[in-house]
Structure 1
Amino acid sequence: MSAGAMIAGNPAAPSIMLIHGLGGSYRVWDRVVPLLEASMNIVAVQLESTESIEFDADDAAALIDSPTLIVGHSRGGLVATALAERHPDLVSELILLCPPWSPASRLSARRPLERALALPVIGHLMWALASDERQRAAQATSFAPDTAVPDRFVADLRSRGRRNLIRSTHAIDTYLGTRTLADRLQNLPMRIELVFGELDARVAAPAAEFALLHDTHPTILPGVGHTPPWEAPDAVADLITRSLRSTAPAY
């Protein structure tokens, strides 16, 4: 297993699993966890981000042993989806925050800067010579305009490394190139919440077919970019809380 986890909250309470996105860490949830930990048992996954979304999903699944609400951000939303596909008995509900839904939906991944980063020599030099401020500027598309990029996000991306970033992004295209997100979600038995930021510069607005999926509920967060756990933690925490209440057994 190549996944670790930060555990917080009340062990006797309902469980949720939080899965971070590309180039990030469990620290993307640092503003959400304090809003939930009094009433929930929280498993915030730290993935190694392998060359396969499915492998990451299996690593995450090994950290839980009973039906759990799975919340995935960006690439983590695809890992959450694969977890539900491969281990449906471990998933009570899915909340997907700003997931890419097809290779073409990945707006920033198609831009010259990120494409150049994957080139063997040029990409290596770009990464090695980039200052923290240049890396900070490159991550601006992960947030709504005029939102300061936190130091921890710069540090997380740097610690991930270029090779890890490239293989992790290739895994996204492979997973979605095989079947789009809408196609994968349509056969899942659990309730699914889809959440997108109105000002997301990394993932295109959701496709119309999501609205047609059974028991799938798309939501747009106004004024929010690609990182709702950091930009709108109250909205994310409220969504998680309401989802748990709606799936709680009646006695």
Structure 2
Amino acid sequence: MAIYDGKHVHGMHVAHDGPREAPPLVLIHGSGASGSCWGPIMPALAGRYHVIRIDLPGHGQSPPAPSYDVPEQAARLAEALDELGLRAVTVAGHSSGGYIATALAEQRPDLVGSLALISTGPSPDALLPQPVFLRALIEPPLGPLLWRVRSDAMLRRGVTAVCNRPVDVPNDLVADVRGIGYRTFRTVLRHNSAYIAERSVPARLTALDVPVLVIFGAADPRWDPSSAHHYDTVPNARVEQLPDVGHFPMLEAPQTTSELLLHFAATGR
């Protein structure tokens, strides 16, 4: 059973999949993506959970916001979860969505029962030189021009540039990415960098009492794969590295990724 009700809660589009009476599982996408990026693992997750996919402000079907500061986005998400009546849920964030999830746990530990981070770079020094095509697409001077003339093929290449395995990029993800403004995207990247520069994600998690699952592609071209082990210092953290997988485990290895999430959501391990 899937429900896509198009409801906006505190400026964010919320999609519901699976039976409403099932345990809740909240999914947060990364920068330059949308809730559609979780598509390949939704059948497995929605079979056992009430999955709540969030489109962050300025992404997917959510309108722009006055601020893209990570703690402010987390506060907005907390208001949405309050309105939905959720407590102590499993929250999974992909890439920089893991920063929003971590900030949510920092601000409102009552809302987060367990935390899964997928391809979430731990600190600025773990960032690798980005693929040439991706740099051209997002950095001046070519970025603003290419952003205006993006074709579907370019958008798909933007996703596959950080994948290590061949993937089929969902059509709805392509459509959602097309709607993201260049200035919004650059602003989001700047605030994400500021959040982890202020304090690394492992250091933030160490201060929290929450079970953590870290999923990292062993061939991630965006973040140094060995940096996944920075999370080994976090109490109650389990680190899983996926062989031959890049930055999008849910697109590149959907079965393994969904199995890890399902086990973690059920057991906290």
Matched residue type, 1:45 = I
Q: Which residue pairs with 2:63 in the alignment?
A: none
Q: Which residue pairs with 1:244 in the alignment?
A: 265
State the percentage of identical aligned residues: 28
Equivalent of residue 36 in structure 2, options 2, 27, 37: 27
Equivalent of residue 91 in structure 2, options 70, 80, 83: 70
Looking at structure 2, the residues matched to 8 and 59 of structure 1 have their Cα atoms a distance apart, in angstroms, of 21
Q: Deviations over 1:214-237 (max 9, x none)?
A: 111111011211111222222222
Q: Quick check: 1:41 aligned with 2:50?
A: yes
Q: Deviations over 1:46-82 (max 9, x none)?
A: 1115521112212222232311000000011111111
Q: Decide whether aligned partners of structure 1 residues 195 and 129 sit closer, same or farther in structure 2, where only a CA change above 3 A counts.
A: same
Equivalent of residue 161 in structure 1, options 181, 200, 205: 181
Alpha-carbon offset, residue 136 of structure 1: 2.9
Matched residue type, 1:34 = P
Q: Deviations over 1:11-70 (max 9, x none)?
A: 221111000111111111112121122321111111115521112212222232311000
Matched residue type, 2:68 = E
Q: Which moved more, 1:144-153 or 1:75-84?
A: 144-153
Matched residue type, 1:199 = A
Q: Which residue pairs with 2:61 in the alignment?
A: none
* Backbone CA RMSD of aligned residues: 2.3
Q: Quick check: 1:231 aligned with 2:252?
A: yes
Q: Which moved more, 1:126-135 or 1:28-37?
A: 126-135
Alpha-carbon offset, residue 151 of structure 1: 3.9
Q: Which residue pairs with 1:96 in the alignment?
A: 117
Residues 136 and 142, structure 2, Cα contact 8 Å, conserved in 1:
no
Looking at structure 2, the residues matched to 134 and 37 of structure 1 have their Cα atoms a distance apart, in angstroms, of 31
| Structure 1 residues 7-156: aligned runs within 5 Å | 7-48=16-57, 50-64=67-81, 65-108=86-129, 114=135, 117-119=138-140, 122-156=142-176
Residues 124 and 162, structure 1, Cα contact 8 Å, conserved in 2:
yes
Looking at structure 1, the residues matched to 248 and 11 of structure 2 have their Cα atoms a distance apart, in angstroms, of 24
Looking at structure 2, the residues matched to 31 and 230 of structure 1 have their Cα atoms a distance apart, in angstroms, of 6
Residues 141 and 202, structure 1, Cα contact 8 Å, conserved in 2:
no
Residues 141 and 226, structure 1, Cα contact 8 Å, conserved in 2:
no
Matched residue type, 1:46 = D
SS in 1 for 2:225: coil
Q: Decide whether aligned partners of structure 1 residues 229 and 110 sit closer, same or farther in structure 2, where only a CA change above 3 A counts.
A: closer
Looking at structure 2, the residues matched to 206 and 68 of structure 1 have their Cα atoms a distance apart, in angstroms, of 29
Q: Which residue pairs with 2:230 in the alignment?
A: 209
TM-score (norm 2): 0.83
Q: Quick check: 1:221 aligned with 2:242?
A: yes
SS in 1 for 2:179: helix
Q: Deviations over 1:189-227 (max 9, x none)?
A: 010011101121111114343212211111101121111
Alpha-carbon offset, residue 131 of structure 1: 3.3
SS in 1 for 2:215: strand
Looking at structure 1, the residues matched to 107 and 152 of structure 2 have their Cα atoms a distance apart, in angstroms, of 38
Equivalent of residue 193 in structure 1, options 213, 216, 233: 213
Alpha-carbon offset, residue 111 of structure 1: 6.0
Looking at structure 2, the residues matched to 83 and 131 of structure 1 have their Cα atoms a distance apart, in angstroms, of 35
Residues 34 and 56, structure 2, Cα contact 8 Å, conserved in 1:
yes
Residues 135 and 154, structure 1, Cα contact 8 Å, conserved in 2:
yes
Structure 2: which 5+ runs fail to align? 1-9, 59-66
Q: Decide whether aligned partners of structure 1 residues 34 and 146 sit closer, same or farther in structure 2, where only a CA change above 3 A counts.
A: closer
